[in-house]
């Protein structure tokens, strides 16, 4: 088996996973097939949605159709082609307590029915578990994982090693580390179902990041029970590659209609906000009038349409390097996702180390939530660790950002530069003209064409947190460099004196000269004349 990564953005990746049932592309959604009751047949799902992989529960298959599934093989038994993944019944343990099947039995059974991707019988931690019980589930899952090598007889089946630990992040880390040492080809994060049912996505962020940090990065990660399209972008961005969805059918039975932003009851809809074949041909009123089974079938189909199209949108965003923008869009569709995105702040350094450095498209910066994005963190780190100003530079002149980029090529900056040059003559090299720009902080002139400093758009007026962050970066820059003086031109309306305040404090600390020029419009002629005069005075 091989997992080849083709494209990346944030922790997300588009990959190709080779299985004996065929090659599948990740991120991938596997609709859950319940072999006992099924609204839409597996074959219809495959044909309608170009769906390459399905997941079913080996425990339920064994319980109800033990010999039949072995004789036919799971593919013929479900009447589908392509890739089949089986879960082991661990979820049933969580719901019904112990399952009357041994771990060894369920491993053998999955081999016998010829599944493509199989799961060991792990012990789910669940959500309300005590720490002691959680530790037990981690240990027991690990010991069953170790037994796998002795039990299995085939080498062509991909085995999934679930990570347990629940809400105890230290246990999640331990579980991931230990499972990662064993020869699994895929890992899965167990127990997030109740986290997701309760919309505790900020906790889910911590769980996924903890697992990712401790697992071998080249192995795909499956997120069990994450079937709602409104959280796919978040999970994919955090590095989840595979999902299973039972939600499409469960919601349909409850007459609930999924959207990329959340869920609505069919009863509450007057219009369908969707253009899938089901919604195109029907309206909510006519659908409500249909017999129950037919109605639920249609809802299930719509739910799958929404789920698959959201994943396609996410994949396109990964290729274009716009996953963050997509994620922010989704975050503004539901407060629980927004909260999770805000919680990403504490993982922003990790996110930065894992994200690609260059992209084909520029950034859109909407609000302070974007301060956690890798590009912002990376600029800060690089300026701090790798950059030093030109040796001859004695005075730092800080100009505000302009609409046009790169900043130093804007009409405003060229005018300022020209005026200073005229007065200083060959001493111009001693002046270092830089831009301060939200959200990055200082953009040295010689770097402002480097990605993403001239490839981003930001909404104005800036919010308070963005202004505060930018000011902090400016003061950090001054503290980490050795100019003899700093001259600042500040547009008061935009920056409310915050940059000046930060500069002043930093200059006092460094015991260097500081002069700020507050003006309403930094680019009018008088302001520029004053600036030039201040700079010139420094060289007299
Ligand atoms: Zn639809």
- Average pLDDT by consecutive 10-residue portion of the chain (540 residues)? 91 96 96 91 91 94 94 96 91 63 88 97 88 95 94 96 95 98 95 76 93 97 91 96 94 96 95 96 96 96 96 96 96 93 94 88 93 95 94 95 95 94 89 96 94 93 96 97 95 92 97 94 91 87
Query: In this structure, are strands 456-458 and 485-491 parallel, antiparallel, or unpaired?
Result: unpaired
278 Cα–ligand 1 center, Å: 5
Inter-residue contact 203 to 339 (CB < 8 Å): no
The residues that are catalytic are 87
260 Cα–ligand 1 center, Å: 11
Residue 391, token pair as written in the block: 């040796």
Dist. CA 217–CA 3, nearest whole Å? 11
CB-based contacts of 285-293 (< 8 A; 24+ apart in sequence): 293/39
2 Cα–ligand 1 center, Å: 35
What pLDDT is recorded for position 225?
86
What pLDDT is recorded for position 492?
87
332 Cα–ligand 1 center, Å: 21
Inter-residue contact 486 to 398 (CB < 8 Å): yes
Q: Where are the beta strands (DSSP E) in 164-253?
A: 186-189, 221-223, 242-245
Residue 487 has φ and ψ, to the nearest 5°, of: -120, 130
What pLDDT is recorded for position 226?
84
281 CB-near residues (< 8 Å, 6+ apart): none
75 Cα–ligand 1 center, Å: 29
Closest CA to 42 of 71, 86, 88, 77: 77
């Amino acid at each position: 088996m091989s997992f080849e990564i083709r494209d990346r953005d944030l922790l997300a990746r588009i990959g190709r996973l080779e299985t004996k049932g065929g090659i599948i592309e990740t991120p991938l959604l596997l609709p859950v097939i319940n072999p006992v009751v099924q609204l839409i047949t597996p074959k219809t799902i495959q044909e309608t949605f170009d769906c390459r992989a399905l997941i079913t529960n080996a425990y339920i298959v064994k319980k109800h159709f033990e010999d039949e599934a072995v004789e036919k093989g799971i593919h013929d038994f479900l009447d589908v082609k392509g890739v089949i993944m089986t879960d082991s019944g661990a979820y049933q343990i969580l719901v019904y307590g112990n399952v009357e099947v041994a771990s060894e039995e369920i491993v053998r059974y999955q081999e016998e029915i010829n599944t493509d991707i199989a799961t060991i019988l792990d012990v789910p931690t669940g959500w309300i578990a005590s720490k002691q019980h959680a530790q037990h589930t981690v240990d027991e899952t690990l010991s069953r994982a170790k037994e796998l090598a002795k039990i299995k007889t085939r080498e062509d089946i991909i085995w999934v090693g679930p990570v347990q630990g629940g809400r105890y992040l230290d246990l999640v880390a331990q579980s991931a580390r230990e499972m990662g040492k064993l020869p699994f080809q895929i890992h899965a994060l167990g127990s997030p179902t109740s986290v997701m049912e309760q919309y505790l996505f900020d906790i889910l962020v911590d769980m996924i990041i903890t697992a990712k940090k401790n697992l071998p990065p080249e192995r795909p990660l499956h997120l069990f029970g994450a079937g709602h399209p409104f959280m796919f972008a978040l999970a994919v961005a955090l590095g989840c590659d595979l999902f299973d969805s039972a939600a499409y059918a469960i919601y349909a039975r409850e007459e609930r209609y999924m959207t990329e932003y959340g869920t609505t009851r069919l009863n509450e809809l007057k219009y369908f906000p969707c253009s899938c074949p089901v919604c195109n041909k029907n309206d909510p009123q006519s659908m409500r009038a249909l017999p129950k089974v037919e109605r639920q079938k249609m809802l299930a189909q719509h739910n799958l349409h929404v789920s698959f199209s959201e994943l396609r949108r996410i994949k396109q965003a990964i290729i274009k390097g716009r996953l963050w923008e997509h994620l922010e869009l989704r975050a503004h569709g539901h407060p629980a996702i927004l909260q999770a995105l805000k919680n990403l702040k504490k993982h922003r350094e990790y996110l930065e180390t894992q994200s690609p450095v260059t992209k084909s498209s520029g950034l859109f910066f909407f609000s302070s939530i974007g301060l956690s994005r890798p590009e912002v963190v990376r600029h800060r780190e690089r300026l701090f660790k790798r950059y030093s100003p030109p040796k001859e530079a004695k005075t730092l002149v800080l100009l505000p950002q302009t609409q046009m980029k790169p900043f130093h090529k804007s009409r405003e900056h060229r005018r300022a530069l020209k005026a200073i040059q005229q007065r200083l003559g060959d001493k111009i090299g001693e002046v270092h003209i830089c831009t301060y720009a939200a959200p990055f902080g200082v953009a040295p002139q010689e770097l402002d064409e480097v990605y993403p400093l001239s490839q981003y758009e930001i909404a104005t007026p800036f919010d308070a947190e963005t202004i505060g962050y930018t000011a902090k970066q400016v003061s950090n820059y001054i503290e980490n460099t050795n100019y003899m003086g700093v001259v600042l031109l500040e547009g008061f309306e935009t920056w409310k004196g915050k940059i000046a305040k930060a500069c002043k404090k930093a200059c006092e600390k460094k015991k260097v000269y500081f002069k700020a020029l507050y003006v309403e419009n930094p680019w009018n002629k008088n302001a520029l004349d004053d600036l030039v005069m201040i700079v010139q005075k420094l060289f007299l």
